[in-house]
Structure 1
Amino acid sequence: MNKSRLREFAPITLILGFALTLRLWRLNQPKGYIFDEIYYAKNAASLINDGVELNSQGDAEFVVHPPLGKWVIGLGIKAFGDNEFGWRISAALVGTASVLLIFMITQLLFNSVFLSNTAAALMAFDGLHLVMSRVALLDIFLMFFILLTFYLLLQNNLWASGAIIGVAGATKWSAFFLIPVLILLTINFSKFHWGTLVKRIGQYILTPLGIYFVSWGGWILSSKGWARESGSNLFSSLWNYHREILSFHRELTDEHAYDANPWNWLVLGRPTSFYYETPTNCGASSCSQEILAIGTPMLWWFGVFAIAITFGFFISKSDRISGFVLAGIAGTYLPWLFIQGRTTFYFYSISILPFLILAIINFLDWALKKGLDRKYIYGYLLLVGVNFIYFLPILIGLEIPYSDWMDRMWLPSWI
């Protein structure tokens, strides 16, 4: 590789190093389970040890999400032990890998290393992405698999793309919202053939369902799983289990302090506090220590503008890239707008983040072609980076004076 190519790709190397460092630094802090780690980390350890989710007494445990994401968490536990670092390392590595993946997707769409580096930097500078890369929850894996699905689609590797959306759905059901979007993206309606539709059904419905079924292998091969003997055969038992899972999600209407209506996700209306303590050793009379799942405001708020501009591009000229970006947003966000009354949390929006970033890149690409000087993009990256560093203490649980914590509560709904 010549020197010019080295200079071209040096930024992504630095960005990845920065992202990985922040995701590994103090990864074992805070001690103990935080937020829903008490479910997922425990389930992951049980999967590794028993092949199926059991409680601490060794009895079958009812779980409300498919097992694959917990298997990934379990790999970290297998490698590093059943401790805080072991629970969280898989999320840290997958989160870092997603920074590289957004770089690769941007390169495929815009054929610009500069814009690809910009996209990667924006993801590395996002607060929500950092938080979700440092906790043993399922959502960073869901986001990564969705992103990989779209990358493979752009590579025209549709069978693999269908398999990976199955992997995503085997992490969280919400990935399956994307299946109609993926089918629509891959059909040329001006040259429509029924054979193409049949093929897409195989790629994006039958293949994901097959992957999803296989992901339940531990439960299938064990006699200990919850509801394993509830039916007359394996399939009826699995069906009974899934009916109970669906019932749980439909009836999840309990009040929660951090319930966030999807309509306010993109503007950071109600971020989720994963951890909050009031230590006494920060050097001030009153101290705060928090892990707040919140996106970097200067990224998300500009992203809302960029989504609107991208929609305008699509309406005015129906360009392929704008359609791709909007399809991703439609599949990861729009279904949630119709789920009212159910308890939902802001951090679910991590799956929207890559497409919000791509909307920003789409706008910047247009602006560059209209003559915008790159220095303004560097200025925007600096603004996002400074905003990210300012919020860093409340993203990773550093102990700070209460007054400093309050300074970062820009909206009353963030408290």
Structure 2
Amino acid sequence: MKRNEIILVCLLFLLAFGLRCYDLSYPNFRWGDEMAHVPAGTNYWVNGQFEPDNWEHPPLRHITMYGFLQIFGDNPYGWRMRNVLFGAAAAVLTYLFAREVSGRRKTALLAGLLLATDPLHIVMSRYTFEEIYGGAFFLAALVLYQRHQQRSSWLMASAFFMGCALATKWYYVPGWLLISLLALKNNDTYRSLKSALFVTTTYIFIPLSVFIGSYYFWFGRGYAFREFLEFIQDAYYSLQTYRPESYNPDMVFLSHSSALEWFIRSVTVGQGTFIGADRGEFILYMNSLPIWMLTLPALICLGVLALRRKSLVLALPVLLFLANYALFIMVKRPTFIYSAAPLLPFAFTAIACCITELAQRFGVRLYQLALGAMLAWNLYLYPVATAKKVPVAPYRYLLDHSDAKLYRE
């Protein structure tokens, strides 16, 4: 990577970090899932227990939470800085992923900027949602896989980060299996028994080792491996029994529980307070619909382009998106809007690839207009995703058509 591109990547990180970190200490109390996530981090490290958080999800989240609490203290920065850093890193990793897919700096920059400024990704990066750092681990694994070029140490590093993603949430199982197959196909690795065994054992043994290792403190309570297998089976079946009525009725996400809605209609949930007659303060979780609605058409176009050029590299965002999205569509339990976050790097890469292709045909101004319009829209939504006091009038239509819980001071 040349010096100019390194500077560009650093600026992208600083932009993403600044948008996520600004006024991070507000609110100065544990909010939402933080009330369970923060104490569970210490409880797991000290006692090997998951309470007061859900027991079904893998516990790497508790270990990382405890680590950041030790660095920053039991305060808003200790609770939230993990997600801020991993959220900013995800923007850079999206840039690197899109760069490898397209081979173009403009495509990579557009994809990275879309994630850096996306209001849903930003608001989730300011609290303790697992999708942010789990998604960053997954992206790191993908970028290392893209760049490994038969270097075994890079493939092993990719497998390690894949294990970190799996030890955060089970979302990434389809992507893990897909990359395992692609690693075997790469340069006909499967034709050589020695190479095939190395790739298979690396991309199965290392991720599973990290996943199992995340339960170290649970094993410390005296459990055996046989009991661990039973525990994982119980966790899987427990997750399948979740229904909307299983959740606290005050949960802000309950109005939208299907993944089929994410990319075709407006989804806006959260809560906020009207301050006086014309101002308000809101924390909204929303899909940036004018951008997100381009996802499915862009994936179709990119898929067709990949078939015409016979390029598996170009098809990678499509395959990864479909592998993970199919899981959200097929699963029986509710899938809330925050679960869309791990899909966004692939959606934005597809959108950026299509816009760059069109700009090559119709002129660079198309790229500039698309970039400017998309960034302007995301930054317009930024204040209502991050609890900034804003005039209500510019956001009246959005608020009136949202399912957010809104109160008056």
| TM-score (normalizing by structure 1) | 0.85
Structure 2 matches for 1:322-341, cutoff 5 A? 322-340=314-332
Q: Distance in 1 between matches of 2:272 and 2:402?
A: 19
Alignment partner of 2:260 out of 260, 263, 285: 263
Range that drifts further, 239-248 or 166-175 = 239-248
Partner of 2:25: 28
Partner of 1:298: 290
Q: Say if 1:277 and 1:294 are closer, same or farther in 2 by CA, change over 3 A.
A: closer
Is the CA contact 1:41–1:73 (under 8 Å) kept in the aligned structure 2? yes
Structure 2 matches for 1:133-172, cutoff 5 A? 133-156=125-148, 157-172=154-169
Deviations 1:8-36 (A, max 9, x none): 55443333222111111111112323332
Q: Say if 1:251 and 1:376 are closer, same or farther in 2 by CA, change over 3 A.
A: same
Alignment partner of 2:389 out of 399, 409, 413: 399
Q: Say if 1:109 and 1:62 are closer, same or farther in 2 by CA, change over 3 A.
A: closer
Structure 2 matches for 1:4-403, cutoff 5 A? 9-48=6-45, 50=46, 52-53=48-49, 55=51, 63-156=55-148, 157-188=154-185, 191=188, 192-193=190-191, 195=193, 196-221=195-220, 223=221, 234-255=224-245, 257-273=254-270, 276-278=271-273, 280=275, 284-285=276-277, 287-340=279-332, 342-368=333-359, 370-403=360-393
Kindly report the root-mean-square deviation, in angstroms, between the aligned alpha carbons of the 2 structures: 2.7
Q: Say if 1:35 and 1:9 are closer, same or farther in 2 by CA, change over 3 A.
A: same
Partner of 2:151: none
Q: Distance in 2 between matches of 1:77 and 1:277?
A: 28
Is the CA contact 1:178–1:332 (under 8 Å) kept in the aligned structure 2? yes
Shift of 1:287: 4.8
Shift of 1:7: 5.3
Range that drifts further, 346-355 or 396-405 = 396-405
Deviations 1:152-191 (A, max 9, x none): 1111232222222111000001111212211232233995
Shift of 1:38: 2.0
Shift of 1:112: 2.6
Is the CA contact 1:261–1:345 (under 8 Å) kept in the aligned structure 2? yes
Q: Distance in 2 between matches of 1:364 and 1:321?
A: 18
Work out the percentage of aligned pairs sharing the same amino acid. Answer: 20
Deviations 1:280-337 (A, max 9, x none): 3xxx326543212223333212233211211222343432233211121123212111
Aligned partner of residue 150 in structure 1, secondary structure: helix
Deviations 1:107-137 (A, max 9, x none): 3333333332222212112111111211112
Q: Say if 1:338 and 1:8 are closer, same or farther in 2 by CA, change over 3 A.
A: closer
Q: Distance in 1 between matches of 2:265 and 2:26?
A: 25
Q: Which amino acid aligns with 1:76?
A: F
Structure 1 unaligned residues grouped into runs of 5+: none
Shift of 1:241: 2.5
Aligned partner of residue 260 in structure 1, secondary structure: coil
Is the CA contact 1:167–1:211 (under 8 Å) kept in the aligned structure 2? yes
Is the CA contact 1:67–1:171 (under 8 Å) kept in the aligned structure 2? yes
Is the CA contact 2:108–2:349 (under 8 Å) kept in the aligned structure 1? no
Q: Which amino acid aligns with 1:42?
A: P
Q: Which amino acid aligns with 1:332?
A: N
Q: Distance in 1 between matches of 2:312 and 2:265?
A: 29
Q: Say if 1:55 and 1:365 are closer, same or farther in 2 by CA, change over 3 A.
A: closer
- Aligned pair count reads 391
Q: Say if 1:165 and 1:350 are closer, same or farther in 2 by CA, change over 3 A.
A: same
Aligned partner of residue 293 in structure 1, secondary structure: strand
